[in-house]
Structure 1
Amino acid sequence: MSVKAEQKARNIGEKKEEGKMRVILFPVPFEGHTNPMLHLAQILYSKAFSITIIHIITHLTSLHPSNHPNFTFRSIEPDHAETCSVGGVIELITLLNRQLIEPLRKCVAELVGEVDNEIGCLITDAHWHFSQDVANEFGIRRIVLRTANISAFLGMLALPALRPFYTLPSSETNLEDPLPNLPHLRFKDLPTMNNESHHFIDQLLTSIFIQTKSSSAIIFNSFHDLEPDSLLKCHHLFSPIPIFPLGPFHKHLPLTPQPHHPSFSWLNSKPPRSVLYVSFGTLATLQPHEFLEIAWGLANSTHPFLWVVRPAMVSGSEWLERLPEGFEEMLGERGLIVKWAPQREVLAHPAIGGFWTHCGWNSTIESLCEGVPMLCYPCFGDQKSNARYVTHVWRIGVMLGDKLERGVIEKMIMKLMAEREDGEIMKRVMDLKEKADTCIKEGGSSFNSLKNLVNFILQK
């Protein structure tokens, strides 16, 4: 959107929302962080708040203001030359926490200077620890949004203190030990980023912890019945800061009508719970040999599958060049490979019987909300913690293992899909689905938590 068009859209939006209390939201420009922030913005908009999104103009963002006419947008911009030269996610976030101080300060100053809307709060992703100082400077309450689950957040915060005793990743047997005060997780389940400096990770996590404790409140995209023990620990750790578990965010919003996407006509032709949906999120990459093992494992499993392969997801490939010649023709109607799929709607389709996932939190919570068991192959970050909870705490999925081998893939797909009728995994995931449905209804835990959050923002 051009500057002129953005200004016009902003003016129209602000005129419509004149007099309402304004909530400012500041997401991290990765899809897994931006989408839940936008869901939260829509939830708060439905509660009569005026919504302003501060978004970062970067090559990473998939946020298009024109797709969100109910919100107004203000953009800030980092040094693109410097950000494009950074290799790792953690190093990039560390850099942006330095680069964006002045742009955010200028943007907030402009918003404070406008008199049409009182500012109720600034809601920022937990990774934007620098935003606490900016909020303090303008006397605005900062609320931290943790877009992933509570348990992984606690594991993240514990990592710097544990580093002197355990070096991750490693093959030491003590990595199988349970974490102190978090017995559901092992040391090997702690969030890690591949090929990134421990120094950057620990520095970022320490800053997140300190500035979260300095914030006014915390919001989680989770719900009480899903993580009661971790929620209690979080209350103790951050007391007296109020905590609002509002999840699942997407369940507060209506499911969009079935979109015009080739996957749906294909899914409509398949029997109930017969299809394995395969998607590894927006950041995971595969080596060519791993891609081939997945392809043959899916083909040999004999189950129908819908496989999302992002362009450039396979190193050195634009899309499907690494598939054996004639592979798609051999599959016929049993397999469908697409570049993108509307995941929430796909998981809600009656033909889906299982989900092979990287265990990003959005994927995990969307799957359990639709009662779909999971085959877990975590890659990095909090995905390992999520996978551990899926397979050993909630017991609504199975772990694939550390390596992608076609024989193992075939075996684990068969194991997961055998559960889709009356298996114990299926019974447990349907129980969680029911709890997720109940928590957002009147009187439910997330319903009440949202009501409390609205009152908290209004009582400025």
Structure 2
Amino acid sequence: MEESSMPLKPHCLILSYPSQGHINPMLQFAKRLLHKGVKVTLVTTKSISKTLHGSSTCTSIPLEVISDGFDSGGIGAAGSPEAYLERFWKVGPETLSELVERLIFRGPPPTCIVYDSFLPWALDVARKFKLVGAAFFTMSCAVNSVFYHCQKGWLEVPVKKQVLLPGMPPLEPHDMPSLLCDLATYPGFTGMLVNQFSNLDKVDWVLCNTAYELDPEVADWFMKILPFRTIGPTVPSTYLDSRLEQDKEYGFSIFEPDHDTTMRWLSTKPKGSVVYVSFGSMAELKTDQMHELAMGLKRSNCYFLWVVRSSEAEKLPQGFANCTETSQKGLIVTWCPQLEVLVHEALGLFVTHCGWNSTLEALSLGVPMLAIPQWTDQATNAKYIMDVWKMGLRPLVDEERGVVTSEEIEHCLRKVMEEETRKKMKENAGKWRKITKDAVGEGGSSDRNIEEFVAKLGART
């Protein structure tokens, strides 16, 4: 058959919100589509693209950019989240439309826009060009359900009492996404999180970065009212099913990891002895909380690897990073290869902010967690980590000070690192690791859903 007469492949534009935690899962989904014969193009903003460090794993996925209205500095140049979102919501649709027009002219033309649910205006662009529109949710089923109920007016906010939602355990106010308990904290982000559900009645697909088996009752509830499918976890294939060759990392990173120092240090530590501490790419801890965490780690006498971003380093206790006790027991780095750390035999526990990507990675790799959520969806994820998946503990917060004390951190670290407690958690961890691996493996729940998506795209081409 001549090339000109061959049927066109479906071509998906994968539009991510400009942050590391949103680029990673959408890029992994793009790799899955590429593996199944779909042409994919990753799209993000000019501002974030200038900070990305690429790797060889992404050479087959082209990157295109649109404008958020702050091409030189992104959200940091906007003055406030509200100003950033207002400008992005005006400029984004215009420049996305211009990109689609260029690709139609240049070829191959896009047939679908898979857009981050934070950017619901992308559906209007898809409709304008008669493309398939698929919303991609980077948070868990449970969290999506909470925000969906809020958008529909079925949930009274601010939340001040126990909440009962379909298919979910009872949620106390401290288990809810923080923005729904304190609406004034981040008003711009609160609106964005709720409004991501505003036009789902018009979308062709709703894709969620989770495995069906992690939250089946909520997934079933969504499937009754929306074209909802689970397609995750979007963790590099090497750590799950190994069907994508050399897929050991996400591929684009805002931060450069201190790989050699980290892995050399880990290799000198006994099996299961290291506490790994990371609060992700965005969470900003109070100075008081940083001090309590530092003292808790010190008192526990555990080996610890602590990721402290450069922007957070000044919050450490004076002299802590360079003192003799820290150098003997701990290593502090500005960033590290988290997946390689989580699978290392020296690792015993993950102290996490409970961002959904980190939670999915720990679930997929069978790592017990100490859950210290900071904001937005993280408290709900922590509830599931402790009470549903039974993969870890959540330290109590000192209500007067609003922090987890060093004494509480020390107590929880010692408890989780005890042989009997760790054995129970590791058993649960092993169960969830198999479940997530099977979900993305050939014929698994997520794999079948991706196959269905690809087949429907092919039928539309």
> Equivalent residue for 2:15?
26
Q: Does structure 2 conserve the Cα–Cα contact (< 8 Å) formed by 1:21 and 1:119? A: yes
Q: Indicate whether 1:204 and 2:192 are aligned.
A: yes
Change (3 A) 1:256 1:421: farther
Deviation at 1:112, TM superposition (A): 2.0
Q: Indicate whether 1:104 and 2:96 are aligned.
A: yes
Q: Does structure 1 conserve the Cα–Cα contact (< 8 Å) formed by 2:284 and 2:312? A: yes
Q: Does structure 2 conserve the Cα–Cα contact (< 8 Å) formed by 1:20 and 1:118? A: no
Distance 1:419 1:364 in 2: 23
Which is further off, 91-100 or 300-309?
91-100
Deviation at 1:424, TM superposition (A): 2.2
> Equivalent residue for 1:409?
409
Change (3 A) 1:243 1:440: closer
Q: Does structure 2 conserve the Cα–Cα contact (< 8 Å) formed by 1:24 and 1:54? A: yes
> Equivalent residue for 2:67?
77
Distance 2:320 2:11 in 1: 56
Q: Does structure 2 conserve the Cα–Cα contact (< 8 Å) formed by 1:354 and 1:420? A: no
> Equivalent residue for 1:15?
none
Aligned ranges 1:42-121 → 2 under 5 Å: 42-58=31-47, 62-64=51-53, 68-80=58-70, 83-84=75-76, 86=78, 89=81, 92-114=84-106, 116-121=107-112
Distance 1:286 1:237 in 2: 38
Deviation at 1:195, TM superposition (A): 7.2
TM-score after normalising by structure 1: 0.85
Deviation at 1:417, TM superposition (A): 1.5
Q: Indicate whether 1:338 and 2:333 are aligned.
A: yes
> Equivalent residue for 2:276?
277
Which segments of 5 or more consecutive residues in structure 2 lack a partner in the other structure?
1-6, 250-256, 398-402
Q: Deviations over 1:115-162 (max 9, x none)?
A: x42423111100111111111000001111111211111111222456
> Equivalent residue for 1:433?
433
Distance 1:415 1:298 in 2: 13
Which segments of 5 or more consecutive residues in structure 1 lack a partner in the other structure?
1-17
Deviation at 1:247, TM superposition (A): 2.3
Distance 2:299 2:441 in 1: 43
Q: Size of the alignment, in residue pairs?
A: 431
Aligned-pair identity in percent equals 26
Q: Deviations over 1:75-134 (max 9, x none)?
A: 2223228954545557644542233121111111111223x4242311110011111111
Q: Does structure 1 conserve the Cα–Cα contact (< 8 Å) formed by 2:150 and 2:194? A: no
Aligned ranges 1:353-432 → 2 under 5 Å: 353-402=348-397, 403-418=403-418, 423-432=423-432
Q: 2:248 aligns with which of 250, 253, 256?
A: 256
Distance 2:79 2:275 in 1: 33
Q: Does structure 2 conserve the Cα–Cα contact (< 8 Å) formed by 1:294 and 1:406? A: yes
Change (3 A) 1:121 1:85: same
Distance 2:89 2:371 in 1: 32
Q: Indicate whether 1:138 and 2:126 are aligned.
A: no
Aligned ranges 1:86-235 → 2 under 5 Å: 86=78, 89=81, 92-114=84-106, 116-161=107-152, 165-168=156-159, 172=160, 174=161, 177-188=162-173, 189-193=175-179, 196=184, 200=188, 203-235=191-223
Distance 2:330 2:74 in 1: 42
Deviation at 1:264, TM superposition (A): 1.0
Instruction: Supply the RMSD in Å over aligned alpha carbons.
Output: 2.9
Distance 2:411 2:50 in 1: 37
> Equivalent residue for 1:7?
none
Distance 1:364 1:51 in 2: 27
